[in-house]
Amino acid sequence: MTLMPIDYDAIKSWRIEPKDHSFTARDTMLYALGLGLGGDESRPEDLSFVYERGLQALPSFAGVLGYPGFWLQDPATGIDWKRILNGEQGLILHRPLPPEGHVIGRTRVEEVVDKGADKGAVIYTVRDVVDAVTGDLIATVTNSIFARGDGGFGGPATSGIRVLPPPPETQPDHVVDHPTVPQAALIYRLSGDYNPLHADPAVARTAGFPRPILHGAATWGIAAYALLRALCGGSPARFQRFDCRFSAPVYPGETIRTEIWSLKPGSAAFRCRAVERDIVILNNGIFEFAAG
């Protein structure tokens, strides 16, 4: 079936229903398990993210709170959803996350960029995660979604939104390796992202991959965890802002290496590699954190 070009005005004004989201300690632990925490006996401090006694929420857990679901799968969008990938993802944490609570996610389309008929489109979204009782803003989650099959619709060629700088060309100051397990995507999807690209081999092949890939948001969460370890002493209260660009997919079972450069106090640059293929998978990363 050939899809019609997407309608810029329709996507730009697309109403994404607010997501009412109550989460429990079990959800918080399941998210951390989906990133692979809890399997390293040399890091007993990680137990605080996967065990109910003294439980803490990983800062990147905000990325799944109030998640609106796979709205791009709606046929009315006109988007070839089987060919979409994460482009960039960012987080501003306005206050530490509780291990359980009740929030509302309010997502809006910020811009839709036309890269050209043979280059695809980029859809930028912003999600405000607010406390359902007080209305206080907890986190702001930004995304860009690369729709590989949907360019050439006549939209703007640039966004003017955010530019992420490349990392320095020097040796990194910190390196953190994090192995993933073959079933990592099947665990991570239980936190709310049920895109079949990450579970169904037939869908993965249709999208051009030999097998299901790990969620970009899971790779993003692993990078956030590595930065938390290396620069924040494992303290979520010090985590402030985190942005990066997705540059290549990860296959479950690969080792993710996070390379970190310290910049001015309270900020760092980073990128991630899939060790087994020696390929950059996250790039142009920036991180801001509070002093300890």
Residue positions annotated with a catalytic role:
193, 198
SS3 153: coil
Residues with Cβ within 8 Å of 52's Cβ and at least 6 positions away in sequence, in order, are 25, 29
Alpha carbons 149 and 147: distance in angstroms, whole number: 6
Do residues 252 and 180 touch, judged by C-beta distance below 8 A?
yes
Q: How many CA atoms lie within 13 A of 21 on its CB side?
A: 26
139, 177, 182, 265 from 258: Cα distances, Å: 24, 6, 19, 19
How far is 181 from 226, CA to CA, in rounded Å? 17
